[in-house]
Chain A
């Protein structure tokens, strides 16, 4: 008989449901299907952007990708500029945003795996480079437009009143599950996350897996920027910054260990839902922005206390 255990992703999901109905206490208009759909829609953007962060954190070795905020901005701006609002050029935007993400991820990966620069520093340094590149490319002028078709396919209700981005998120979720659970890459990713030396001795090409992981992270962030444009409709230099730390928080709240080797993408999906719900609840409660920030910080701290704890020194 398999015993029913409360795993962190499950706790997060239950918490999300409780939070949603708790919202009804604050504001009776909060609990309805339209609001639920809206929250899942908002969580989808964070969830897609946090997918790459999940892989990077799973890879261990203090793995973290601080450049994804800038990559998201880059992806959105490239799509905005290259399509110029033309539906027939959407594929150019998609290719460019994903391509830029791959290149940035490759540079991150080389710096981290070959030059042994700590991930925090390397991706932080790349953030500046990406932001600088954006400034050089745009010269501070945001010329372009969002193709109307992107809005229809991503942000507006597509089938049964459900927006397209939720379907995209579901596909990303399935893709991530297959990648992590059913491919050699996934097995090797968990292996290097647990112990790189052991993984190397059992024949895993550690450096190659690390480079590949950062490439995937860049790719997913670039794709996230492309998707985000369909919702935001407009671009600005800080567009992606608001997703950087929430992406890390979503991964942690979903029960993935920051030390690597243990976790899941469905945990991150639950984490994204919880964070988005808290954010929406605080807005619905009509709190001033200052209180919103404080309460968000306290709740985040409480969530990490519940299941983000590291092992004790005394064992």
Chain B
């Protein structure tokens, strides 16, 4: 009886296991780096994780809806090149706001293109978003053939700021959590989970499958634009392939966050936890003084072990029951 209740709890609150994993990796990190909880260090860490956090929440929505978006990284690159082209060190506040609004619109358009192809033309998400990723990286290269650009000093300082003595990253996490709580309470979220677990059943019960599916990619496009803004503020310059690597990391973060890739379940906050786990693991490897050439391997093995852990537990349980 109790085990059933426990199992139900874990399947509903999918991010609990991720949270436990997070506590473990943070503890390990603390043992290597005693000033981990100093405000300055927290601020630094969250600042580097922020772009991927925002991106992963968008990816999580697509994955929960039963798809995957392999174009998000190149979309971040495209947004980055547009921002450094439109914003110069002399830009006024109004111009900057306009540029931010424009790139958000472009992110939404890019997402709508993906969503239209997947939902209305019924194309497979993996290859479709792979194809559009070429379009986005082509545009990025067109906008900014050579790395460069610089931002107003105030803008870069803002990204490093700690309003009310709290890291900016904490506010962003707060907004992301609030966003998910609000979204989760709507009928839209029920549709989202329904099409993710079975689009046939959802269609049969009158869920507007196609339009909901389009919106998942629109969310992901918008979040890619926001992640692009964050990344640009973080680096202060532009490069046509700056965000390309973030695509696969966003997928790994989603999975580490306890969101099943088959869709229909999970909690977008889990993706944020997944990003922090990834960042903390990287920290540990740095502070544990792992030899330079072994860092990639150790990082990959730890991530693989984290991904495999639920499967190993399930396998052992099956063998015991037999």
Please judge, given known A-B contacts A298-B135, A300-B134, whether A126 and B203 are in contact too, CB under 8 Å. Answer: no
User: Is A122 engaged at the interface, CB distance under 8 Å to the other chain?
Assistant: yes
Contact A128 B296 (CB under 8 A): yes
Name the residue in B199, B248, B296 with the highest tally of chain A Cβ atoms < 10 Å from its Cβ.
Answer: B296
Contacts of A298 in B (CB 8 A): 131, 135
Contact A290 B252 (CB under 8 A): no
Please judge, given known A-B contacts A128-B300, A258-B127, A296-B134, whether A115 and B312 are in contact too, CB under 8 Å. Answer: yes
Please judge, given known A-B contacts A129-B300, A129-B301, A291-B142, whether A304 and B308 are in contact too, CB under 8 Å. Answer: no
Contacts of A127 in B (CB 8 A): 300
B144 CB to nearest chain A CB (Å): 10
User: Is B123 engaged at the interface, CB distance under 8 Å to the other chain?
Assistant: yes
Contact B128 A304 (CB under 8 A): yes
Question: Which among A126, A259, A289 is the interface contact of B141 at CB below 8 angstroms?
Answer: A289
Question: B interface, by DSSP: helix, strand, loop or mixed?
Answer: helix
Contacts of A122 in B (CB 8 A): 307
Please judge, given known A-B contacts A248-B127, A309-B123, whether A121 and B251 are in contact too, CB under 8 Å. Answer: yes
Please judge, given known A-B contacts A111-B311, A115-B315, A293-B135, whether A301 and B128 are in contact too, CB under 8 Å. Answer: yes
Please judge, given known A-B contacts A128-B303, A252-B124, whether A294 and B139 are in contact too, CB under 8 Å. Answer: yes
Contacts of A312 in B (CB 8 A): 122
A201 CB to nearest chain B CB (Å): 19
Contact A116 B314 (CB under 8 A): yes
Cβ-closest chain B residue relative to A141: B293
Contact A304 B293 (CB under 8 A): no
- CB contacts under 8 Å to B, within A268-315, are 288-298, 300-301, 304-305, 308-314
Contact A304 B299 (CB under 8 A): no
Cβ-closest chain B residue relative to A302: B131
Q: How many residues on the A side are at the interface (Cβ–Cβ under 8 A)?
A: 52
B311 CB to nearest chain A CB (Å): 3
Contacts of B145 in A (CB 8 A): 290
Contacts of B295 in A (CB 8 A): 132
A76 CB to nearest chain B CB (Å): 18
Question: A291 CA to B260 CA in the complex, in Å?
Answer: 37
User: Is B68 engaged at the interface, CB distance under 8 Å to the other chain?
Assistant: yes
B26 CB to nearest chain A CB (Å): 22
Cβ-closest chain B residue relative to A258: B124
Question: Which among A114, A129, A291, A297 is the interface contact of B297 at CB below 8 angstroms?
Answer: A129
Contact A125 B300 (CB under 8 A): yes
Question: A136 CA to B292 CA in the complex, in Å?
Answer: 9
A66 CB to nearest chain B CB (Å): 8
Question: A310 CA to B121 CA in the complex, in Å?
Answer: 8
Q: What residues make up the interface of A, taking CB atoms closer than 8 Å to B?
A: 62, 64, 111, 114-118, 120-122, 124-129, 131-133, 135-136, 139-140, 245, 248-249, 252, 258-259, 288-298, 300-301, 304-305, 308-314
The 9 A-B pairs at the shortest CB distance, nearest first, are namely: A132-B297, A297-B134, A115-B311, A128-B300, A293-B138, A294-B138, A132-B296, A290-B141, A297-B135
Q: What residues make up the interface of B, taking CB atoms closer than 8 Å to A?
A: 68, 117, 121-124, 126-128, 130-139, 141-142, 145, 199-200, 203, 209, 248, 251-252, 255, 260-262, 293-301, 303-304, 307-308, 311-312, 314-315
Q: Apart from A311-B122, A313-B203, what are 17 other A-B pairs with CB-CB below 8 Å? A: A64-B126, A111-B308, A115-B311, A121-B307, A125-B300, A125-B303, A127-B300, A290-B138, A293-B134, A294-B138, A295-B138, A297-B131, A301-B132, A305-B117, A305-B123, A308-B127, A313-B199
